[in-house]
């Protein structure tokens, strides 16, 4: 059976890690590239605030080549879409026909991804789609994956959650109304070990910083736990 040449949208977090795990075991897909969005000004992974040094160590442990979407410090939707289209066209020219995502239940986001890639005749794969998020978290832990929280929405979670390792206590400590996987953007993680890693990615925890944003009048704030690579 022919395999689909596939790139996976890699955020460095737990949902990406688990979704990639499923696709690597699916004989229909040949995962040949991980695509990561980078804030080029700060040299960190977009949304997660993870240093690219740790991304590179993570990628080395996985052993799949990486393409990066380099974004300016402040990115509006139009700029993002233009840059993404250019990157997708490049991947299309390299023979990629499918794209993988770690989305779970956000219908609008899934539809947006499918519509954007339809113009390039690239099919989408969502291996975690409609899975129960609490069950996914238990599966993540029981299967030997390891992750640490690097970013939390300060309006939904307090500072203490930043830097926490994902375990049963973390799940139990989440306030009522917070999705166990953080699918609504409540928190983001760094997956420092998965069963397909060659080795665990070593790091130490730095300081936790509050950053505030104003996007067209909409204010938001996030706690970021700065992870430092260990050589």
> Is residue 135 assigned to a domain?
no
pLDDT digits over 135-174, tens only? 999 999 999 999 999 999 999 999 999 999 999 999 999 9
pLDDT digits over 25-51, tens only? 999 999 999 999 999 999 999 989 999
- What is the average pLDDT value for the chain, to the nearest integer? 96
* Residues 110 and 174 both lie in one domain: no
DSSP for 81-135 reads HHHHHHHHHHHHHTT--EEE----S-HHHHHHHHHHHHTTTPEEE-TTTT--HHH
Backbone CA torsion sign across 162, 112, 215, 77: positive
Residue 57 CA to residue 201 CA, distance in Å, equals: 7
Residue 226 CA to residue 99 CA, distance in Å, equals: 30
Question: Would you say the pTM of this structure is higher than 0.85?
Answer: yes
* Residues 118 and 154 both lie in one domain: no
Classify the phi-psi angles of 192: left when phi > 0, otherwise alpha if psi is within -120 to 50, otherwise beta. Answer: alpha
Domain that includes residue 213, residue range:
146-229
Q: Which helix (H) or strand (E) holds 65?
A: none
Q: Which CATH number is 111's domain given?
A: 3.40.50.620
Residue 224 CA to residue 126 CA, distance in Å, equals: 28
Locate 154 and state its tokens.
Answer: 């300060």
Among the candidates 93, 125, 157, a domain finishes at 125
Residue 129 CA to residue 96 CA, distance in Å, equals: 22
pLDDT digits over 54-95, tens only? 999 999 999 999 999 999 988 888 999 999 999 999 999 999
Residue 213: the pLDDT is: 82
CB count in 10 Å sphere of residue 13: 26
User: Phi/psi of residue 92, each to 5°?
Assistant: -60, -45
* Residues 108 and 34 both lie in one domain: yes
Residue 175 CA to residue 222 CA, distance in Å, equals: 17
Q: Which CATH number is 203's domain given?
A: 3.90.1490
* Residues 216 and 108 both lie in one domain: no
* Residues 111 and 182 both lie in one domain: no
């Amino acid at each position: 059976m022919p395999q689909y040449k596939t790139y996976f949208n890699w955020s460095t977090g737990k949902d990406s890690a688990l979704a990639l795990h499923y696709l690597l075991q699916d004989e229909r897909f040949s995962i040949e590239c991980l695509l990561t969005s980078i804030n080029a000004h700060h040299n960190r992974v977009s949304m997660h605030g993870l240093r690219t040094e740790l991304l590179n160590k993570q990628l080395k442990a996985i052993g799949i080549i990486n393409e990066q979407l380099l974004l300016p410090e402040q990115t509006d939707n139009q700029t993002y879409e233009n840059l993404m289209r250019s990157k997708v066209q490049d991947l299309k020219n390299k023979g990629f026909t499918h794209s993988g995502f770690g989305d779970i239940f956000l219908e609008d986001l899934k539809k947006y991804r499918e519509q954007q890639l339809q113009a390039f005749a690239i099919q989408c794969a969502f291996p975690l789609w409609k899975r129960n998020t609490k069950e996914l978290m238990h599966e993540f832990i029981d299967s030997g994956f390891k992750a640490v929280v690097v970013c939390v929405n300060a309006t939904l979670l307090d500072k203490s959650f930043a830097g926490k390792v994902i375990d049963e206590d973390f799940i139990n400590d989440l306030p009522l109304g917070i999705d166990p996987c953080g699918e609504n953007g409540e928190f983001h993680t760094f997956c420092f070990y998965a069963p397909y890693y060659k080795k665990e990615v070593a790091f130490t925890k730095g300081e936790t910083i509050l950053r505030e944003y104003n996007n067209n009048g909409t204010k938001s704030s996030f706690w970021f736990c700065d992870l430092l690579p260990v050589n």
